[in-house]
């Protein structure tokens, strides 16, 4: 019988070392989903991979599909016993309910953070572009994304504007004291880096250096928050006099 299957790990079930090994860059997620739908027991596949979770949603024969998915993830992350011990398995309504909770920010490390909605939407759009979605995942993800928007607009869950970025900036303030006048270096220029720059500017930081492999995106963030752009090879020089360094990149290596 074909039904919805969700298999994954998150900050609630797995240490960061395992989450790092099983994390999927965009091309990895696309390749995994394409590999899975080639199997006779899998009709549709969508993979969500963020800092704190890797989850794969399938329309499939759940038994054979689960075994195939665990094998595929083990090939990417190693140590099948560790992965099996940390992985959660949900089917049918339980899997759908979980996706709704994830998209609403209820399952996040920072409850109510808004970034996850965009991450779920992009994951689904990537699967659509790869051709691995279908009627079940289409209805499921469309409904989850709409529900996530309603949660944010009709409840107070986002009133505190909490995010991992804002919490990191608050922690930095606890460590170094008042932030105005401090020099902050941000490594990376993605969504999390932009949220960090916004939180820093909101706390009065005027010296922000943004460094990234691609300077165009860094320039967008720096211009928005009054910072400057630096080439990545100049990072050691900036580290000498930085009060705070925030690293937030999608790089798979140090």
List the catalytic residues.
Answer: 51
Q: How far apart are CA 103 and CA 117, in angstroms?
A: 5
Chain-centroid distance, C-alpha 9:
13
What is the side-by-side strand order in the sheet with 2-10?
A: 42-50, 53-61, 2-10, 88-91
Q: Are 248 and 186 within 8 A, CB to CB? A: yes
Q: How far apart are CA 78 and CA 253, in angstroms?
A: 17
Q: How far apart are CA 66 and CA 100, in angstroms?
A: 21
State both tokens at 199: 């939180």
Please give the backbone phi and psi of residue 83, each rounded to the nearest 5 degrees, phi first.
-65, -45
- Identify the CA nearest to 168 among candidates 245, 238, 111: 245
Chain-centroid distance, C-alpha 121:
11
């Amino acid at each position: 019988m074909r039904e919805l299957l969700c298999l994954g790990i998150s900050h609630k079930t797995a240490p960061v070392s395992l989450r790092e090994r099983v994390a999927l860059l965009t091309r990895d997620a696309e390749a995994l989903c394409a590999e899975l739908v080639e199997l006779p027991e899998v009709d549709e596949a969508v993979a969500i991979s963020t800092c704190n979770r890797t989850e794969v949603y399938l329309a499939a024969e759940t038994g054979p599909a689960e075994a195939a998915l665990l094998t595929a993830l083990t090939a990417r992350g190693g140590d099948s016993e560790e992965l099996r011990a940390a992985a959660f398995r949900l089917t049918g309504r339980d899997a759908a309910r979980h996706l709704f909770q994830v998209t609403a920010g209820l399952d996040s490390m920072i409850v109510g953070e808004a970034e996850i909605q965009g991450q779920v939407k992009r994951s689904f759009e990537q699967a659509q572009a790869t051709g691995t979605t279908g009627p079940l995942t289409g209805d499921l993800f469309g409904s989850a994304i709409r529900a996530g928007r309603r949660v944010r607009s009709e409840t107070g869950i986002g009133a505190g504007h909490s995010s991992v970025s804002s919490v990191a900036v608050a922690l930095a303030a606890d460590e170094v004291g008042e932030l105005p006048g401090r020099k902050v270096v941000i490594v990376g220029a993605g969504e999390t880096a932009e949220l960090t720059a916004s939180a820093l500017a909101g706390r009065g930081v005027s010296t922000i250096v943004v460094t990234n492999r691609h300077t165009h995106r860094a320039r967008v963030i720096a211009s928005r928050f009054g910072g400057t752009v630096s080439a990545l090879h100049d990072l050691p020089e900036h580290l000498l006099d930085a009060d705070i360094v925030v690293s937030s990149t999608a790089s798979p290596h140090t």
